Amino acid sequence: MKFSNIVRSEAELRELMGKPIAPSVVEKALSALDRHCLAFISRAPFVLVASSDREGRMDISPKGDAPGFVRVLDSTTLVIPDRPGNQRFDTFKNLFESPRLGLIFLVPGKRETLRISGRAEVVRDAALLESMIINGKVPALAIAVHVEEAFFHCAKCVIRSHLWMPEHWPSLEGLPTLAETMKDAASIPAPLEVVEAIIKDDEEARLY
pLDDT in tens, 92-103: 999 999 999 999
> pLDDT exceeding 90 applies to what percent of the chain?
100
Q: What is the pLDDT of residue 153?
A: 97
Cβ–Cβ < 8 Å for 73, 86? no
Say how far apart CA 10 and CA 87 lie, in whole Å: 39
Mean pLDDT of the chain: 98
Alpha carbon of residue 92 to chain centroid? 13
Note every long-range contact of 71-74, with CB atoms under 8 Å and residues 24 or more positions apart, other chains counting: 71/128, 71/131, 71/132, 72/33, 72/38, 72/41, 72/42
Structural domains for the chain: 14-161 (2.30.110.10), 170-205 (no CATH)
Q: Which amino acid is at 106?
A: L
User: CA end-to-end span of the chain, whole Å?
Assistant: 43
Helix (H) or strand (E) holding 14: helix 10-17
**39: Cβ contacts below 8 Å, ≥ 6 apart:** none
Helix (H) or strand (E) holding 110: none
pLDDT band at 44; cut points 50, 70, 90: very high
pLDDT band at 169; cut points 50, 70, 90: very high
**165: Cβ contacts below 8 Å, ≥ 6 apart:** none
Cβ–Cβ < 8 Å for 138, 130? yes
Say how far apart CA 158 and CA 149 lie, in whole Å: 22
Q: What is the pLDDT of residue 161?
A: 98
